[in-house]
Amino acid sequence: MCLSATLHTKFFIMGTNTGTVKFFNEEKGYGFIKDDNDNADYFVHANGLVDDINEGDRVSYNLEDGRKGVNAVDVELVD
């Protein structure tokens, strides 16, 4: 008999990043942030927000390894 379990471990990718909100759908609760350094688009869910965000806002954020890839978390508006 073989027993198995899936263990999902979250980890943070070091450093605070900055970028611009490329898209955010308030109704669905998700969007994407374009990173200033590597121009990559990172998924952001409403649960990862510190401040309310809109398309075009400048933000700072951390990256977290999620189930489906890297997610932006601790997303805050910057001046």
Cα–Cα distances (Å) from 41 to 2, 58, 72, in that order, read 40, 14, 10
Which residues in 47-69 are b (16+ Cβ under 10 Å) and which e? Answer: ebbeeebeeebebbbbbbeeeee
Q: What residues pair up with 12 in beta bridges, in sequence order?
A: 64
5 assigned to some structural domain: no
Residue 49 belongs to domain with CATH number: 2.40.50.140
pLDDT tens-place values along the chain, 79 residues long: 444 444 444 455 557 999 999 999 999 999 999 999 999 999 999 999 999 999 999 999 999 998 889 999 999 999 8
Count of domains forming the chain: 1
4 assigned to some structural domain: no
Three-state DSSP at 56 gives coil
Quote the pTM value: 0.80
**Alpha helices, DSSP H, located in 1-79:** none
